[in-house]
Amino acid sequence: MANRSQLFNASCIALAVTAMTFAIRAGILGQLGTDFGLTDTQLGHVNKMAFWGFPLATLIGGLLYNYVGAKNMMILAFVSHLLGLVLTIFAGGYWGLLISTFFIGFANGSVEAGANPLVADLYHENKSKFLNKFHVWFPGGIVIGALISALMTNMNSGWQLQIAIMIIPTLIYGYLIFTVKFPETENINTSTSTNIKALLNPLFIFMVICMTLTATTELGTQQWVEKILGNAGAHPMLVLALVTGLMAVGRYFAGPVIHRLNPTGVLWGSAIIATLALVLMSQATGGMVYVAAVLFAVGVMYFWPTMIGFVGEYIPKTGALGMSLIGGAGMFATGIWQPIIGGWLDTERKSALASGLSESAASLQAGQATLDNLAIFPAVLTVAFGILYFLMKKKIKTSLEDQL
């Protein structure tokens, strides 16, 4: 018999590693730029490789999941994490960083492709609740990674050592997946042809489009926190730890919130709050940055797992493929925006310097202008999720009336 607890724990640690790669990369961007002489636009391209390796893995994993199963997907994640981390440590320049970061992104996507349907299958009786509990470990891992990065940076530890730290939890989840029996898939649709046909459902297509915006709102902002807030009078890694710590707590207790508001209500409210938070953050300095960060955490904490849970509950015929592809779409879009966000920072900084501002003031202005641009994403979602809320409410009401 499969050990449900060990499988869940292995999945959570693997997701924590995924998050740590994200947080520590955000924390060492400045060091990488200095050591290799890279512009923010080039750093954006490095970030992009992680976000593009991810959707490639979810596409491949989603299509093959019914044939290879969760265990092989998790083994692929383990091998790719080790390879990506080691290659990053020994990267000699821009191209080395691009290649190694791609492997890390591929590993991260393999975790999602294997673990999301595994958790949904293990806890089929309450998918959204347990997917939120599983996804506690993305913000949880970011907290761990952000604090480690901040501490090691203050100790003048090199970025290579910060990367090496992540090999430890990688080996732990590798041990767990190699020493546990995985169950047969029983509670999700395993017909690949049915899964593919279901992808044409207009609701699924709508959710994929929305996922590109929710993911960029959350991850696009967090990945650039050091560059965006570095001169705002708040410690960027502490801001990241604060945001993701609150996200972890919120996701752990997501059950009552989702039950009370339903997934579409949660998504709509999240979009409204995230918009307000980014606008406030674009004007804040000093202590007010932390206030805006708290609001931002509330806005984005339920986006990712609730989007995946929505697909699992309301579009179940898409199966593991649907859950994999919606996550992949979010990461792919975020990858596209990485060099664009870096370009915003470069352009705004040059403009500010040309107007006579100091380097510090110019960087602050560039960060605030970039946050203004990022606020457009949740603003669009506010309209989209508002429409979805009322359409789903009407659909559920009609369904209940038909049953009477």
The tokens for 108 are 């991260």
Q: How far apart are CA 274 and CA 261, in angstroms?
A: 17
pLDDT of residue 397: 58
The tokens for 247 are 């996200």
Residue 167 burial (CB count, 10 A): 15
pLDDT of residue 403: 42
Q: How far apart are CA 107 and CA 26, in angstroms?
A: 18
Residue 227 burial (CB count, 10 A): 24
Residue 168 burial (CB count, 10 A): 9
Fold of 4-398: Growth Hormone; Chain: A; (1.20.1250)
Between helix 40-89 and helix 94-122 the angle, nearest 10°, is 70
Q: How far apart are CA 46 and CA 183, in angstroms?
A: 37
Using CA atoms, how far residue 288 sits from 126, 226, 240, 247, 284, in Å, is 38, 17, 14, 19, 5
Q: How far apart are CA 271 and CA 261, in angstroms?
A: 14
Cβ–Cβ under 8 Å, residues 346 and 39: yes
Cβ–Cβ under 8 Å, residues 41 and 343: yes
% helix / strand / coil in the chain, to the nearest 5? 85, 0, 15
Classify residue 124 by its DSSP letter. G
- What is the full per-residue pLDDT of the chain (404 aa) written as tens digits? 468 889 999 999 999 999 999 888 888 888 888 899 988 888 888 888 988 898 899 889 888 888 888 899 999 999 999 999 999 999 988 999 999 999 999 999 999 889 988 888 888 777 767 787 888 898 889 889 888 888 888 888 889 999 999 999 999 999 999 998 887 776 676 688 888 999 999 999 999 999 999 999 998 888 777 778 878 888 887 888 888 889 888 888 877 777 677 889 999 999 999 999 999 989 988 889 899 989 999 999 999 888 988 888 889 899 888 888 898 899 889 888 988 998 998 999 999 999 988 888 898 899 899 999 999 999 999 999 999 999 888 776 555 444 44
Helices assigned H by DSSP within 155-220: 159-165, 167-178, 192-198, 202-215
Using CA atoms, how far residue 342 sits from 16, 48, 105, 253, 319, in Å, is 26, 11, 19, 35, 36
> Dihedral of CA 186/188/193/194: which sign?
positive
Q: How far apart are CA 346 and CA 51, in angstroms?
A: 21
Site of tokens 């290579």? 160
Specify the amino acid at residue 377. F
Between helix 288-300 and helix 254-281 the angle, nearest 10°, is 140
Q: How far apart are CA 278 and CA 379, in angstroms?
A: 10
Q: How far apart are CA 4 and CA 266, in angstroms?
A: 28
Give every CB contact of residue 245 below 8 A, 6+ residues apart in sequence.
139, 140, 143, 297
Q: Is 404 helix (H, G, I), strand (E, B) or coil?
A: coil
Burial bucket for residue 219 (CB in 10 Å: 0-12, 13-18, 19+): buried
Closest C-alpha to 130, from 113, 118, 141, 139? 118
pLDDT of residue 401: 46
Classify residue 92 by its DSSP letter. -
Q: How far apart are CA 384 and CA 115, in angstroms?
A: 28
